[in-house]
Amino acid sequence: MAARKHGVKRFFYASSACVYAADKQTNADVTALKESDAYPAMPEDGYGWEKLFSERMCRHFREDFGLITRVARYHNVLRPLWHL
């Protein structure tokens, strides 16, 4: 809503592979994931649901308000050292 209020024309959202169903992420030999593999939705609890919901909000803001949105689903992003 702040982007809309301040006249932002484009919005980028950094999403995550955690939007995909957890069972699609347990095997290292899995075939490459596609955008459509996020549905039917059963993402990682908490973080994955938040990311998937935010992707949907980007879509709704594009459809409802004309805000140009782009989403990237990152995989294998290095975590800070405190996660090790």
10 φ/ψ angles, rounded to the nearest 5 degrees: -135, 145
Q: How many CA atoms lie within 13 A of 20 on its CB side?
A: 17
Q: Which two tokens stand for residue 71?
A: 């989403």
Among candidate residues 13, 20, 47, 74, the one labeled active-site is 47
Type of residue numbered 14: A
Q: Respond yes or no: is residue 13 known to be catalytic.
A: no
Active site residues: 47
